[in-house]
Each structure stands twice: as C-alpha cells, then as structure tokens.
Amino acid sequence: MTQGASRERRPVMLDVEEAGMRRGRRADSCAIVIFGASGDLARRELFPSLFELYMKGLLPAAFAVIGVAREQLDDDQFRQRMRENVMKAVTCDEGDWNEFASRIGYVQADVVAAAEEGYAAVSERFEQVRAELALDDNVLFHLAVPPSLFSTIASGLGSSGLATPRSGWRRLVVEKPFGTNRESARELDVQLRQVFDEEQIYRVDHFLGKETVQNMLVFRFANPAYEPVWNRNYIDHVQITVAEDIGIGTRANFYEQTGVVRDMLQNHLLQLLCMTAMEPPVRFDAASLRDETVKVLAAVRPIAAGIDSGAVRGQYGAGSVGGEPVAGYRDEKGVPDDSLTSTYAAVRLMLDNWRWAGVPFYLRTGKRMTRKLTEVAIHFKPTPYVMFPPEDGRAVHQSVLVFELQPDEGIVQALGAKQPGPDLAVRTVTMRFDYAEAFGVEEPPSAYAWLLLDAMQGDQTLFARSDWVDRAWQIVDPIVERWSKEGPSDFPNYEAGSAGPQAADRLLARDGRKWRKLEAGELA
C-alpha cells in the first residue's frame, strides 16, 4: 500500500457462534394465580412478562392466568387494563394480544376480610378453567401484595385446600422484602412452611433474572483465563452500584417503613455480592449454587454503622435530574417534613475467607442519583512493576472489568494500549460487549420473564433460599438498628442528580480509592 492510500476499515464487532434467542423448553401446563392483580407490580412487570413468554412460545400450550383482587372488575375490564400496560412494554399486534387475553380471567375477592368466600371463588374459577382448557392440576401462586399479607394468604390457601393438589404441584412466589428484620423473616418463614415446603417457595429477587448476572458465572467459570486471577492476589477491590435516577413516586408509605437498606441492600446488592464472590459450585443447579451463595454471606465480617466502621447513609434534597428540577425526599407526597428515612446507603464489606482476605467490596445504592445504573466493577491490581511510567501527571493505568446490568446489559473491559505515535504512551481503551447487539436480539428478555418461567418449571436456582435470607438480615440488622437509634444531623445531605453524599466519597478515600463515576461513557 502506498503512502496516503486509503485503507478499508473493518467494523468493530463480536462474532457469536449462534445469534438470536435460544428457544428453550416450554413450561408445564398450569394456571398462574396472581393475588394483587390490580396493583402496580402485576401491571408493570408480571403481565408484560407473561405475554413476553407467550410470544416466545415458552408458555405451555394449555395455560390460564387468573387475577385476584378486591377491585370490582369483570373479565373484559381487567383484560383491557392489562392490555394498556402490556402494549407499553412489549411490541405486539392485536391478534396476538387477543389470543393471549382469552386465557386471562379475573376474580373479585377479598381473601383477607372475607377469606372463606374469597378462596372459594378462586377455587371455583380454577376448576372452571381447568375443565375448559384441559389444564393439569398445577398452580403457581404469585403474591403481588404487601409483605404483611404473605402469611395470611398462604394460610388461606392451606385452609381452603387450594394449596393441596390432587395430582399435580403447587408453588408459591413471594416478593421482597421477605420480612423487615431477621426475627420477622424467621417468623414469616415458619408461617409459610406450615403450608408449603421449602421446595415449593420461590423468593423473588428480579436482579438474578438478568442475563448479565447469570453471564457473570459463565464468564468466570467457562473461560479459564479469568478464574485463576479471581482472588486477592490480582483483584484490588470490587465496586457494586445500583443507582436510580427516580424518586419514590407514590410509594411514600412503603418507603417510610422500609428505607433503602431493607429495600435494596438486604437483597439486590447482597445477591450481586454473592454472584461475584462465590466459589465454583459443583454443578449449576439450585442446591449447589445456593450452597455457595450462603457461604459468601457467612464470610462477611460484621459491620456497624458510621464511616469509621464501614457504612454511611444519605437522603436526597432538591436538585435536578436530566436537566429537570425535582423535589427533595421530604417534599415528596406523603413524606413527613422531618423524615429521617435513608434513600442512600454505602457499605464497605470484607470477606473473611481464603479467596478474598483483604479485598474490600464497596456497595452503594440510592435514589435520585445522576442516572440509572447497575454494575459490578472488578478493579484489578496494577502490575507489580511500572514498566511504562505515566506522563503528563496521568495516573497509572488500572485494568477494570465491568458487568453492566442496567440500563443496558453487557460487559466492558478497560485495557491499557499504546497510542499510535513515535513515542510510547499508554492510554486506556475499552472493549464493549452488548448483549442485544452481539446476539441480534431486538428486545432483550425481561428478568421477570425468566424467573416466572423458572418457577413454572420448578427450577429454584435463581431464587433465594431461607438460610440465605436469614444470613442477609444478620448482616444488615445492625446497620438498621444503629441508624434508628442515632438520627442523622445532616439530612438531606446530597442533591438530587448527584452521585450521593460526600461521606460516601470519604468511605473510599480512607483506603486511597474512589468511586467510579456515574456519568455515561466515563472510564474511571
């Protein structure tokens, strides 16, 4: 090629062995009974996810969905309400929806105040659709209701006979939070186990249904280049971030009772910690994988609350998100003017085991932050000898591996490379793997869709076990208890649209580290 001649550039891409969505196997013939079917969770997540499974051919040929709530609606009114929400979330045509909607029914019932007649109505409707659609005697109960009703409904299912199949199976799906502390979680577990066995209980954490969370295990255990360096010898620290740009919306009553630690740290962030830090399971099945995640929590060193011991809190004040002014937490509808509820938490966790001794795990989560972002960032140690000294006051390059969960799902690897030129200058470059783009999937599957399918298939691999829940509360209870006794003096202490309170920055600065920036496109 002569000097100055043009050169064809190849597009940057990843070649995949098999593009598109893997079909998988259908669920068993069953009825899905959703308690709290007129609520926000059912509208935003459950029905769109079930329709998504239907469109992918993963629901059984014979199935029915029965919504149960106190609101006075008939089948057509309920179907129309669900249609409006499904159309916002999933691309479809009218014919597909009408076929799916023909399997949807609604039961107006108060299963608390009028329990006996309420469960009788549900039972009657199930027997009706079972005969009409030739369903097997299988039922998945999904409790999309406040956690205070879990044990009440489970008891009602038991006393009414709905929890006892004649020939098939019964399974119970419950949402987070599972209890409000360790004691209440244990009590709730005892109450549920009076009706359902542990093998029938599916405790949902929708983060575990995300493709990238599962791919963290594949990436680490299927690629021999990474597992040998997945330890204290090569990893400097780990950062786990779950940032939300939204406020509490209309959930003031729930949030005032729950707070950020119970809402996010006790479940989502600790699950991501376990997926990152676990030992290789004997095999990828429910028992083996969940055994290893429990071991991670058992290794967590107890922490108290306060910057000197590894936990800080925050509450957002007024600010701007995406260029739009937003109110502070205390100005949200239904929030007391002097509320001390935390909307931000950051903790420094240490694992007392052979693999991770001396490696800090920094976890942070908050509302009204710079942007929506969920990621796990593995920060590797620098090379033992700096062969290529940085110039112009630049920092020494550090290799970072990032698993992105939200808003996009993918993997980013930051590497050091020589910049073209006559002298040697190291610059950071990134390799990006985007799931949707790499596999040619226009609409990546929702986490709830996969978890609902797993529950219908009887696969508990991605659901929390009771001993995991117990260990998780054991970690966070001391934080909640101390914060409840020692009210903060500086709330609100971070602006909406920011990266959180300054105390969180000092938490890492003590160790000579800093948080990754939340701005899109930042490498640091």
Q: Which of 357, 178, 199, 189 minimizes the C-alpha distance to 271?
A: 178
DSSP string of 29-91, one letter each residue:
SEEEEEETTTSHHIIIIIHHHHHHHHHTT-S-SSEEEEEEESS---HHHHHHHHHHHHHHHS-
Q: Where are the beta strands (DSSP E) in 55-181?
A: 63-69, 104-108, 139-143, 170-174
Under 8 Å between Cβ of 61 and 27: no
Clarify whether 142 is annotated catalytic. no
Out of 206, 268, 379, 397, pick the active-site residue: 268
List beta partners, residue 492. none
Alpha carbon separation from 430 to 68, 341, 398, 515, 524 (Å, rounded): 49, 39, 12, 18, 11
d(CA 203, CA 464): 5
Task: Give the number of other CB atoms < 10 A from CB of residue 496.
Answer: 24
Under 8 Å between Cβ of 112 and 151: no
Amino acid residing at 339: S
Under 8 Å between Cβ of 316 and 368: yes
Under 8 Å between Cβ of 335 and 248: yes
Amino acid residing at 47: F
d(CA 261, CA 242): 12
List beta partners, residue 401. 378, 413
| Residues taking part in catalysis | 268
